[in-house]
Structure 1
């Protein structure tokens, strides 16, 4: 299977999960501006939405949206600790977390990337994002991970929090979040994923 990615985007999360699980895959870089892929395709033919991540299976099926992709990976390896079993209360809790990260953290960062939005308006979005970071900081004060062990939600949260320096936001202003980021970044799978992406050539 192929994972289509762009550096410093949300596609890092499924990339980390692939390495945690030891699943075989091919990494294919995408140019976010031109929409060309390293294997010579128009990325919009793979994912008409036009953004990463996209997973192409060996049978040609395509799956998009990071939270769906990471759960698909976890379900392919029975007995792993990255996601609770389907149909359990714990899996519902995981989906709650993934939705929160998607809408409130990932989505909360999106306006800050838009050069057309004036700074006073961005300040409103920043204050809303800070409230969400306050919430996560409280959740992580007395535990190492969002759930009982490192899982797909941690990979996703780590990925989006890595964007904060682009907005002149220091994650260490939230002590538990800063500790969380250092803990996740030390994982071999995370270091390997970041190194592999940095080693790819621009498209």
Structure 2
């Protein structure tokens, strides 16, 4: 398997899941602003929408969309216990993946991270309390979203991590703050986060230098 990722984007959840499963995989960084892989290939030739994660499997087939990719990883490595095996348990997992993807990732965090108008950002921030409060309530007295660590936890950790660069303060919800700290100490999460943080810093510095050089050329 080959995972196309961007540092600290939602593809971090798949890296966590792969590490948790002890899976053999290769990782290709994608610059989403330039739509280029680290080797210089056109990423849109791999995924026309230019989104991560994109997981290449046997025969060169590409699977996209976070929920689908995470469930495939869980299915491929059942011994890791990343997804329940019973029907109701799987439905609960899908419930969490859908909720995280729609109510948190797309509805709350994406507008706050994107170059959206101020009114859009204000709207997203105003509606953050309800879904975050709901998750915090479900985590009261629980270590994970389900009975054990699952791909839903990998996804939730990834999304909540974006709070660091938004006005959202997880300390408002002690259960969420404790959950995030607890998962950050998990070996698979700690490894994935440390590796991608280093790449994120390098990517940010690279874009900053590029922007500065472009401004200098414009002035000249």
TM-score (norm 2): 0.86
Relative to its length, the structure with more helix (as a share) is 2
Measured in 1, the distance between the counterparts of 2:111 and 2:136 equals 22
CA contact (8 A) 2:136 2:176 kept: yes
1:161 counterpart = 2:124: no
Provide closer, same or farther for how the CA distance between residues 116 and 197 of structure 1 changes in structure 2, counting only shifts above 3 A: closer
Q: Name the larger-Rg structure.
A: 2
Measured in 1, the distance between the counterparts of 2:10 and 2:51 equals 10
Instruction: Please give the residue correspondences for 1:65-144 in structure 2 after superposition, counting only pairs within 5 Å.
Output: 65-85=65-85, 88-108=87-107, 109-118=109-118, 120-144=119-143
Measured in 2, the distance between the counterparts of 1:188 and 1:162 equals 16
Report how far residue 192 of structure 1 moved. 1.1
Measured in 1, the distance between the counterparts of 2:3 and 2:120 equals 35
Measured in 2, the distance between the counterparts of 1:58 and 1:199 equals 30
Measured in 2, the distance between the counterparts of 1:141 and 1:25 equals 35
Query: Match of 2:32?
Result: 32
Query: Match of 2:213?
Result: none
Higher relative contact order (CA 8 A, sep 6+): 1
CA deviation map 1:78-122 (0-9, x unaligned) = 33321012x61110110011000000000121111233412x442
Q: How many residues align?
A: 201
Measured in 1, the distance between the counterparts of 2:149 and 2:191 equals 16
Report how far residue 199 of structure 1 moved. 4.5
- Secondary structure of 1:4 counterpart: strand
Measured in 2, the distance between the counterparts of 1:134 and 1:149 equals 21
Query: Match of 1:2?
Result: 2
Q: CA RMSD in A?
A: 1.6
TM-score (norm 1): 0.93
Measured in 1, the distance between the counterparts of 2:141 and 2:112 equals 30
Measured in 1, the distance between the counterparts of 2:111 and 2:165 equals 12
Measured in 2, the distance between the counterparts of 1:198 and 1:173 equals 25
Provide closer, same or farther for how the CA distance between residues 74 and 116 of structure 1 changes in structure 2, counting only shifts above 3 A: closer
- Secondary structure of 1:183 counterpart: helix
What stretches of structure 1 of length at least 5 have no aligned partner? none
CA deviation map 1:133-192 (0-9, x unaligned) = 000010001111100011100110000000012112111110000000011100110111
Query: Match of 2:182?
Result: 183
